[in-house]
Amino acid sequence: MSRKYSQELLDKIIERQGIVNIKGAEVLVKKLPDSDERGAMDPRLYKDMKKQIILMKFMPKSLLKMDISPKSIGKLRKMFCEIKSNPMVEKKIDIIHGTVKATDGYKIPVRIYKSETVKENAPILYYIHGGGFFGGSPDVVEELVKLIVEKTDILAISVDYRLCPENPYPTGHEDCYSVLKWIYDNTESLGGNKNNIFVAGDSAGGNLTQYCTTKDMEQGLGMVKGQLLLYPTLNMAKVEDEFFKWSRDEYEIAPKYKAGIEMILGMFEGLSGGLGEILGTTDIKNEYLSPYIREPKGLPPTFITVGEHDFLKVECLAYAAKLTKAGVETKTVLYKGLGHAYGDNVGVYPQSEDCAIEMGNFILRYSR
């Protein structure tokens, strides 16, 4: 079990990082550890994606649009459930499998992660995986969760919520919120601190994370101490304001990578454009599916991270600016040379490990 990169590359990311102001928000920019080329892809990512980029050149544009036929969903699920991380966690971490009862009686699978040196009365990370609401699984992000646990000795819990389209909105959202309430009600038996529960999620899981925080605020329960949003889906309705207007002009792309990056942006645009159909609703312009439109004042401390070439970058940085303007304590991390889903690549890309470190530091900083 080891990294596929050197410790030197990990150290270089920290050495070369710096803070910039984007639309009024402080953003910690993580440069490539071994390249100064503006708009370049990370060389490790480019090597992994080169074959895929070549194949995409010959794909008809119709295949880049969301198709919710069982055959199409099956293919996409297989792709979104691929485990890409390289095992690198050395500390012994016990994984306990259990279930939590949903509002309709369904037993929601959960996993509890405890290191051999877990803190007493530990902070809790509640992690919600991504996958476009129809794919993904806790397996895909398990190495990320384990790495955070290894580095912080906190508790972690992940959820295997029900997926669309078989389980239309708001089933998956309500599953995730049911598990949050269960965690809060059972912190003592879990060995955790109910005052230090942090909810996190990537991509669609970021949307589900914000849903949990929003519902907690609406019900006045005060369960969520902080939230961590990894390249989250926040503005499905693409509502424009002073901070957000999507444009390819927002992306700096080196000529060598132009064709590949633009194809990837186009693919995600096609996928995101069909999320309402996947979710089984025409009402994507609500404050749960498009939390960007909600007044953010009063949100707990929020961590946001996104890649330079992610289709969701524009809305993520706009959300950071909006939260900052509203007085929400916000930590924003932008990774140069990366696109979407780098949390799935622990042990493969140094930025993935760096992100885990940043997440752990954020949780420890805001724990009482």
Q: What is the pLDDT of residues 202-227, one digit of tens each?
A: 999 999 999 999 999 999 999 999 99
Distance CA 164, CA 176 (A): 14
Is the CB of residue 73 less than 8 Å from the CB of residue 134? yes
* pLDDT higher than threshold 90 for residue 360: yes
Q: In what order do the strands lie in the sheet with 155-159?
A: 18-22, 25-30, 330-335, 302-307, 226-230, 192-202, 122-128, 155-159, 107-115, 93-101
Q: Looking at residue 65, what is its pLDDT? A: 61
* pLDDT higher than threshold 80 for residue 272: no
- Which has the higher per-residue pLDDT, 264 or 328? 328
For the chain, what are the domain ranges?
Answer: 7-366
In terms of DSSP H, where are the helices of the chain?
Answer: 7-16, 43-57, 70-80, 142-152, 171-185, 187-190, 204-219, 258-272, 275-279, 313-325, 350-366
H or E segment and range at residue 330: strand 330-335
248 DSSP assignment: G
Q: Looking at residue 49, what is its pLDDT? A: 85
Which residues in 211-222 are b (16+ Cβ under 10 Å) and which e? bbbbbbbeeeee
Q: What is the mean pLDDT of the chain?
A: 94
* pLDDT higher than threshold 70 for residue 172: yes
How many CA atoms does the CB half-sphere of 249 hold within 13 Å?
Answer: 3
Phi, psi for 326 (deg, rounded to 5): -85, 0
What is the rounded (10 degree) CA torsion for 306, 309, 310, 311?
140
Q: How confident is the model at residue 192 (pLDDT cuts 50, 70, 90)?
A: very high
CATH for 7-366 is 3.40.50.1820
Rg (CA), the chain: 19
pTM metric for this prediction: 0.96
Q: How confident is the model at residue 20 (pLDDT cuts 50, 70, 90)?
A: very high
Q: How confident is the model at residue 268 (pLDDT cuts 50, 70, 90)?
A: confident
Q: What is the pLDDT of residues 55-111, one digit of tens each?
A: 666 555 555 566 778 888 898 899 899 999 999 999 999 999 999 999 999 999 999
253: its two tokens: 């792309």
